[in-house]
C-alpha cells in the first residue's frame, strides 16, 4: 500500500465514523504519514515503508476498528523509530515524565521522608517529572534539529 493510498484510506475512514476515539487514531495516522511523506527518504526507504504498511492489513474489515488501527499505529511508530530513527512529537516528553516521576518517587521516599512522608513523596515526584520534562524538551529539540522528528 502506498503512502498516498493509506492517507486516502484514513481520510475516508475518518469521514465515515462519528466515534471521536476512532477519528483520533485516524488523524494520528494521517499526521504521521503526511510528515513521513515530507521527510527526505530515499526511494528504497519509501518502498520499505510501503511494504510495511501493506503488512499492517489496513484494508481488512474487523469488528473493532479502533483496536486494530491503534495497534497498527503503534507498530508503525516502532518501525519508524527502529528503521529510520524517526520519532513522533511528544515521544521523549512521555518518556521523560514517566521516568522522572518514577525516579522522583524513589528519591522522595528515600531522601525526603525526613520531611512529612507524603510531602516528601509528592515533592520528589514533582521535581523528578520537571527534570524529566526539561531533559525531554532538550532531546526533542535535538531530534528536530537533526530532522528526525515527525
Residue 115's pLDDT is what? 77
Residue 119's pLDDT is what? 87
Residue 41 has pLDDT above 90, yes or no: no
Residue 139's pLDDT is what? 94
Instruction: Name the band, by pLDDT with cuts 50, 70 and 90, for residue 22.
Output: very high
* Cβ neighbour number for residue 143 with a 10 Å cutoff: 18
Q: Tell me what the pLDDT averaged over the chain comes to.
A: 90
Higher pLDDT, 118 or 46: 46
Amino acid at each position: 500500500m502506498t503512502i498516498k493510498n493509506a492517507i486516502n484510506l484514513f481520510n475516508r475512514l475518518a469521514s465515515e465514523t462519528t466515534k471521536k476515539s476512532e477519528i483520533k487514531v485516524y488523524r494520528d495516522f494521517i499526521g504521521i504519514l503526511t510528515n513521513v511523506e515530507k521527510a527526505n527518504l530515499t526511494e528504497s526507504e519509501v518502498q520499505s515503508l510501503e511494504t510495511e504498511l501493506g503488512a499492517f492489513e489496513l484494508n481488512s474489515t474487523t469488528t473493532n476498528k479502533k483496536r486494530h488501527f491503534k495497534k497498527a499505529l503503534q507498530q508503525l511508530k516502532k518501525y519508524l523509530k527502529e528503521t529510520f530513527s524517526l520519532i513522533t512529537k511528544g515521544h521523549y516528553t512521555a518518556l521523560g515524565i514517566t521516568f522522572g516521576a518514577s525516579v522522583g518517587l524513589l528519591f522522595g521516599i528515600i531522601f525526603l521522608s525526613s520531611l512529612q512522608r507524603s510531602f516528601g513523596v509528592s515533592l520528589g515526584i514533582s521535581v523528578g517529572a520537571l527534570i524529566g520534562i526539561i531533559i525531554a524538551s532538550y532531546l526533542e529539540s535535538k531530534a528536530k534539529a537533526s530532522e528526525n522528528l515527525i
